[in-house]
Each structure stands twice: as C-alpha cells, then as structure tokens.
Amino acid sequence: MEDEAYIPSPESLITTSELLEAIDLMGIGLIITNPHLKDNPVIYVNKGFTKVTGYQPEEIMMCNCRCLQGPDTNPEDLKIIKKAQIERKAETVTLKNYRKDGSHFWNQLTISPVFDQAGELMYFIGLQLDMTKEIEERENSSRRIRQLAFFDPLTGLLNMSKFKEELEKELQKGQHCALLRINIDRFRYINESYGEQIGDSLLLEAAERMKRMLGKDCLICRSFADDFIVMLKLTDSSRYEIHTYAMLLSEALRKPYFIHNEEIRSNFSMGISLYPEHGETASLLLNYADLALEQSKLDGIGEPYWFKHSLLEQIHKRIQIEKKMPKALGSGEFELYFQPKGSSSKTPSLVGIEVLLRWNDPEQGLISPMDFIPIAEENGFIIPLGEWIIKEACRLIKQWQDEGYPKIPVSVNVSAVQFRHPHFINVVENALEISGLDPCYLELEVTETMLNDPVVIKEKLERLRNKGIKISIDDFGTGYSSIHYLKTLPIDILKIDKSFIQETPVSEQDSTLLQSIIQLGKSFGLTVLAEGVESQSQLEFLAGSGCDLIQGYYFSRPLNRESMEQMLKTYK
Ligand code: C2E
Ligand code: CA
Ligand code: CA
C-alpha cells in the first residue's frame, strides 16, 4: 500500500473553469501579456488586478501596462523589467504605480516568461502584490527616525549635529556666512518660577519667531536647552547690516510672551562670528560665536557681541589667573589697601576706611581686583579669599585701635557669591571673635544686584545688623535701584556710584539726578556717601546738596598699609 503511487480520482481534479475562477479570486493581481503582438499588450487580467488598479478588464485589454506608470515611477526599475523581457527571464521589482483615480500604490511586480513544450516564449505573466501599506509604514518610521536624528523634538529646528553637518557643507562651497549664537538670559529662573511646561512653550514660541523672521535660506538650530544658533548666508552684507539684522531679531525675541495667561518678558544675549574672517571650520566658528555670546552676557547691555581674536588672549589671561589664584593666597601675594572716607565739608576729615584688595603677582605685577574678583566669583575661590579679607581687615583694624589710632569704621566689600554662602554669617562672626573687634566698627558693602531675592537677603541682613554690623549699598544706581528694597531692607548707608558724580556739576542733567538720589537716600533716613569724588567743585556741589560723606581721589587714593597708618597718625 505504501509503495503505490497516489492516483487522484477524476472528481478531485480541478477543472479549467474552476482554475480560472480561483485565479480571478486570488487576492493579488495577475496579468498576462502577449510578447508576439506589437507593444506586448495585455491579453488577460484577473479581478485582483481590477481591485488593485481600479481598471476594468476592457479598459486595459490590448493596451500596454505602462498606463500604470506615473511621474515618480523609478526609471531604473522599468529598465530592469525591460531587460528581463528581452532576456526572457523572471524578475521582481517594486514600482510606484498609479490607479485609475490618480492615487498611487506600491506594486511589487513579478514577471515571468511562459514557454511552450518546444521552448518557445508564449506569454509573460505578471503578478502584482499591493505593498502600499507596508512601504508607507516603513517610510513613516524611517522619516520619524530621521526626524529624531536630525531635528530637535521640541521646536522642530535642526539639532546640533545636523546643523554642523549642513554648516560644513556650506563652508565647503565657500559660502560666506555669519553665525549668531543666541541664549535666553536667566532661562533657569523662568523654568523655576513658571514651571518647565511654560519654559518649553517659551522656547517653542521663540523658535517660531526666528523661523518667521529668518526665512528658508537660513539654518536654525536649537543646540541644547535655551541655546539657539542661526546661520545667515551673506552676499555682500556689511557688518553694520548684519548687526542691524541681529538687533531686529533680538527685538522680535524680546517682545513679551503670552503663555497660559502669563505675560513673560525675557532678554536674549547674542554672540556673532563670521566666515571666513574669524575662522575656517564649523567647530571654530561655533566656538568663537559661543565666546562672543559669553562676552555679551558679561556686558549685559543687550547688544549682539562680535567675536574678536583679542577675546582669545583674554581667555588665556583668565586661565592663567585662575590657575595662579589658590597659590597666591597661600604665599601672601594678596594685600589689603585702604581708601579713606571723609566728611563732605570743605576740608574733609577722616571718618571711615574701605578695604580694597590688591594682588601683587610676582610675574604680572599688580593685578586689578576687577580682573580677578569676577573670576574668583565664578569658580568659587571668592569663598576662601573673602574669608581671608574679612579676617585680615578685622585683625588689622583692631590692631590699629589697640595701638591708639582713632577708632573709625572699616567697610569690607562682599561679593554676591560670598553673601549667599550658607556659612557667611559664621565667617563674619568668627572674624569678629578672633580679632576682638567691636561689630559697630564693621561695615559690609553689598551691591544692588544681590538684592533680587529679598526674603532670604532680608533675614541675613537683619541677623548681621542685629549684631551691630552696618550695611552699605555699594554702586547705588547701577543695579535694580528699586525703591522697594530701600524701604524694606535693613540698610544704613547708600554709596552712590561714581558714574553719577563724574559729570557733576558740569552736566546739569547729571547734577539734578545726583541731587534726587541724595534726597531719596535721605528720605529713607540713610547716610549718603558719594564715590569717586575727584575735584573741589564736585565736593562743594555734594556738600551743598546734603550728601553726608565722600570718597575718591580728591580726598585720598587707596593707600597701602604704611601710608594708611601715616594718615591715621595725623588723627591720633
Ligand atoms: P568698589 O567697591 O566700587 O571700589 C571703588 C573702586 O573705585 C576702587 O577700585 C577704587 O580704587 C576706585 N576709586 C576710588 N576713588 C576713585 C576716584 O576718585 N575715581 C575713580 N575713577 N576711581 C576711584 P578698585 O580698588 O580697583 O576696585 C574695583 C572693584 O573691585 C571694587 O569696586 C569692588 O567691586 C571690587 N573689590 C575690590 N576689593 C574687593 C574685595 O576685597 N572684595 C570684593 N568682593 N570685591 C572687591
Ligand atoms: Ca565698595
Ligand atoms: Ca563702589
């Protein structure tokens, strides 16, 4: 039984009409063409063909299948089909074809030649499989992958790696361009006070404003967080034109943002580098624009900052300073200088001293505090340095008092970073305790910019003041100058910034302004001191305007210890 061949019964065999019906009903399209007739026309299609293409058999019969092709059909695939027909071979391609209604579909077409018993070509059979769904899904996911790989998911702008790639292509073509690196000032503050969702909406709106203003020819990128980069292609634009354009962009970005019923205002800083003037490579130009951006933040005047090569020297100098600072403290290179404060009478008398720091560097000579204090603030070195200054100042003043010099208050400058440090009060207490100096002789000079966090600041100031220490506001008029804090914070002395004194009394406007600041201070019951007094006429004007104290080159320049002691002696 097992060895016997299986012979089907006649009833179990398929008939020709059943076969044709099965072919008709199969889910895929089938076409038969006759290569012996002119233009290889269609001589049979099944129902599957009509389902896929929308053409009825009579509409395609005796026609060539090329009516399914359209403008996007890949000619390379058509060549493969042609070649297979010539060589009488089977082949499979996936073509973008068009239905009768004009919509497209992806046709996975397999053509096979059919030969008779003698090996002569009779027909070509084509099988059509509609792959539209599969191919489009694949395309969508690769588009999504591309989107993630090249674009920022939040704003849809280019991401950094794609931006750099595109920038490199433009540079290779020799395209002159400007790179604008744009950053939102204090964005962290926006995120913290309004929440990240509002922060994101602000970034999105900023990106939209850039897109609207810049047009298609520019590349725009969000490199990270609140950092945007724009590449402007230049033809023969001058720096003036680029600057004006950059200012207009800043202005558009600065307009208030209305998000979830909140009106948010934000400032933007901008750094600019140019190709080919500043550098040849994308990395260099991006770095240079970044350095310029940093500088624009430091400037704080809200104007775009242009990269210049001297910035690199400044950075080099800065790195040197940063490296040398810790050692300098250990080896006694820092020194206290003293600037006397006087009464605002015709012949001022010594009423106080401000301690000013100096750095005697063995290689560079005297380095100005303006050059190293901001660095020390940034890298945290101001904490040990500031502690040394307070201790040293208290020690020396007490020593002078013990030696019989007149007992006058001494003021010490306190930087924001130092003041915010949780141990600041302990440091001050410690310095007073070790030296034995009565707190009523210690004055701390803080700046207005420190006062933007009134709750914490107020408590700290009150605790210091309760010990008998006096508080001065330094550089008054250059920071927030909010009348509110004058009213609410425990302050004793207002030090009017020297920029208000410089043009007085020559400039009528400055003189009036100065007088109103003096009156403002007096109305809050504060002692008012004018800084940077350099002439007799300034002194007279200030005395006449009710200013209590003066400080400046006219009375005395900052003095070293020896000269200060000389001056103190005359008051003994
Ligand atoms: P400041 O606290 O406003 O100090 C006054 C600055 O003005 C001093 O510069 C002083 O030399 C200068 N000055 C005084 N009288 C005149 C004048 O009549 N005309 C002009 N044009 N300038 C005058 P200095 O010593 O270079 O200090 C600069 C800044 O560095 C200080 O400004 C202060 O912000 C900071 N600084 C200095 N010493 C210390 C310190 O011990 N700690 C901290 N945190 N900062 C300090
Ligand atoms: Ca000061
Ligand atoms: Ca000052």
**Where among 79, 104, 130 does a domain terminate?**
130
What is the average pLDDT across 22-43? 92
Which residues have beta carbons under 5 A from ligand 3 (an ion)?
474-475, 531
Question: Across the chain, which distance is largest between two alpha carbons, in Å?
Answer: 138
**What is the 56 CA–ligand 1 centroid distance (Å)?**
93
**pLDDT at residue 456 greater than cutoff 80:** no
pLDDT tens, 213-265?
998 889 999 999 999 999 999 987 788 889 999 999 999 999 999 998 889 99
pLDDT score of 481:
66
Cα 247 to ligand 2 centroid, rounded to whole Å? 34
Centroid of ligand 1 to alpha carbon of 376 (angstroms): 16
* pLDDT confidence of residue 238: 83
Residue with tokens 């003066």: 550
Count of CB atoms situated within 10 Å of the CB of 145: 10
Confidence class for position 4, pLDDT limits 50, 70, 90: low
Span 405-425, average pLDDT: 95
Is any ligand 1 atom within 6 A of the Cβ of residue 373?
yes
- Residue whose CA lies nearest to ligand 1 atom number 17: 532
Residue nearest to atom 22 of ligand 1 (CA): 532
Does the structure show a pLDDT above 60 at 182? yes
For residue 477, the Cα-to-chain-centroid distance in whole angstroms is 29
Across the range 155-161, mean pLDDT stands at: 95
Burial class (CB within 10 angstroms; exposed 0-12, middle 13-18, buried 19+) of 35: middle
Q: Are residues 151 and 115 in the same domain?
A: no
Based on the domain organization, do 288 and 201 belong to the same domain?
yes
- Residue 240 makes CB contacts below 8 A (sequence gap 6+) with none
Above pLDDT 90, what percent of the chain?
Answer: 80
- Quick one: 117 and 164 in the same domain? no
Asked if residue 317 belongs to a domain, the reply is: no
Higher pLDDT, 3 or 93: 93
Q: Which of 483, 410, 412 is nearest to 448 (CA)?
A: 483
| Cβ(369) – ligand 1 distance below 6 Å | yes
- Which tokens hold the place of 293? 């951006």
pLDDT at 1: 47
Q: Is residue 82 in some structural domain? A: yes
How open is the CA angle 29-35-40, to the nearest 5 degrees? Answer: 65
Q: Specify whether 168 is located in the same domain as 255.
A: yes
Kindly report the CATH number assigned to the domain that includes residue 480.
Answer: 3.20.20.450
Whole-angstrom distance, CA of residue 222 vs CA of residue 325: 36
**Runs of H (alpha helix) within 412-535:** 416-420, 424-435, 454-466, 483-488, 499-502, 508-523
- Ligand 1 site, residue 475, Cβ cutoff 6 A: yes
Task: Look at residue 139 and tell me if it is in a domain.
Answer: no
CATH number at residue 46: 3.30.450.20
**What is the arithmetic mean of pLDDT over 133-148?**
89
Cα 443 to ligand 3 centre (Å): 14
Tell me the residues surrounding ligand 2 (ion) with CB < 5 Å: 413, 445, 474
Say if 499 falls within a structural domain: yes
User: Domain for residue 548, yes or no?
Assistant: yes
Distance CA 185, CA 199 (A): 12
Strand partners, 273: 179
**How many domains in the chain?**
3
Which pLDDT belongs to residue 3?
Answer: 55
Which atom of ligand 1 is nearest to 554's Cα? 18
The DSSP line for 289-338 is HHHHHHHHHHH-S---EE--THHHHHHHHHHHHHHHHHHHHHTT-EEEEE
Give the mean model confidence (pLDDT) for residues 440-458: 85
Q: Is residue 6 part of a domain?
A: no
558 CA distance to ligand 1 centroid (A)?
Answer: 9
Q: Residue 320 domain-assigned?
A: no
Give which of 140, 157, 150 is closest to 203, Cα–Cα: 157
Q: Are residues 527 and 477 in the same domain?
A: yes
Confidence of residue 102 (pLDDT cuts 50, 70, 90): very high
Which residues, 6 or more positions from 287, have their beta carbon under 8 angstroms from its beta carbon? none
Q: SS3 for 384? A: helix
Quick one: pLDDT at residue 450?
81
**Same domain? 522 vs 420:** yes
Ligand 2 centroid to Cα of residue 412, in Å, is 7
Are residues 227 and 166 located together in one domain of the fold?
yes
Alpha carbon separation from 315 to 319, 321, 329, 385, 388 (Å, rounded): 6, 10, 22, 22, 27
Given the structure tokens 């490579």, which residue do they identify?
281
For residue 105, which of 48, 59, 63 has the smallest C-alpha distance? 48
Question: Which residue puts its alpha carbon closest to atom 45 of ligand 1?
Answer: 413
Claim to verify: residue 408 and residue 521 sit in the same structural domain: yes
Range in 8-12, 169-173, 402-406 with the lowest mean pLDDT: 8-12
Residue 396 has pLDDT above 70, yes or no: yes
Task: Decide whether any atom of ligand 1 lies within 6 Å of the 226 Cβ.
Answer: no
Of the listed ranges 158-162, 387-391, 475-479, the one predicted with least confidence = 475-479
532 with 502: CB under 8 angstroms? yes
Does any domain span residue 290?
yes
Lowest mean pLDDT of 17-21, 157-161, 392-396, name the range. Answer: 17-21
How far is the C-alpha of 229 from the C-alpha of 88, rounded, in Å?
Answer: 58
CA of 293 to the centre of ligand 3 (A): 27
- Site to substitute for ligand 1 among 353, 356, 494, most atoms within 8 A of C-beta: 356
Q: Is the pLDDT of residue 553 over 90?
A: yes
Atom 43 of ligand 1, residue of closest alpha carbon: 413
Q: Is there a contact between 303 and 248 (Cβ–Cβ < 8 Å)? A: no
Residue 558 beta carbon below 6 angstroms from any ligand 1 atom: yes
CB hemisphere CA count around 458 (13 angstroms): 10
Phi, then psi, of 314 in degrees rounded to 5: -60, -40
For residues 444 and 447, what is the distance between their CA atoms, to the nearest angstrom?
Answer: 10
553 shares its domain with 415: yes
Tell me which residue has its CA closest to atom 7 in ligand 1: 532
Checking if the pLDDT of 444 tops 90, the result is yes
Residue 557 has pLDDT above 80, yes or no: yes
Residue 97 scores a pLDDT above 90: yes
- Write the CATH number for 291: 3.30.70.270
Measuring from atom 23 of ligand 1, which residue has the nearest CA? 532
- Is residue 208 domain-shared with residue 126, that is, in the same domain? no
Q: Which atom of ligand 1 is nearest to the CA of 445?
A: 2
Which of 55, 36, 38 has the alpha carbon at shortest distance from 107?
55
Question: Has residue 5 got a pLDDT over 90?
Answer: no
Indicate whether residue 413 lines ligand 1 (CB < 6 A). yes
User: Over the stretch 52-88, which tens digit does the pLDDT of each residue have?
Assistant: 999 999 999 999 999 999 988 899 999 999 999 999 9
Among 48, 78, 45, 75, residue whose Cα is nearest residue 59: 45
pTM of the model: 0.65
Cβ within 8 Å of residue 281, ≥6 positions away: 168, 171
Whether residues 387 and 518 fall in one domain: yes
Say yes or no: 126 and 151 in one domain: no
Residue 11's φ and ψ, nearest 5 degrees, are: -70, -25
pLDDT in tens, 306-334: 999 999 998 888 889 999 999 999 999 99
Percent of the chain at pLDDT exceeding 70: 98
**Which has the minimum average pLDDT: 268-277, 479-488, 511-520?**
479-488
* Alpha helix stretches (DSSP H) within 380-412: 382-402
Whether 69 and 157 have beta carbons less than 8 Å apart is answered as no
Look at residue 449 in the predicted model and tell me its pLDDT. Answer: 80
CB 365 within 8 A of CB 333: no
368 lines ligand 1 (CB under 6 A): yes
Atom of ligand 1 nearest to the CA of 534: 18
Q: How far is CA 350 from CA 345, 353, 572, in A?
A: 11, 8, 11
Q: Which amino acid residue places its CA nearest to atom 41 of ligand 1?
A: 357
For residue range 141-155, list pLDDT tens digits in order: 988 888 888 999 999
- Residue 528: which domain range? 341-356+380-570
Q: Which amino acid is at 348?
A: P
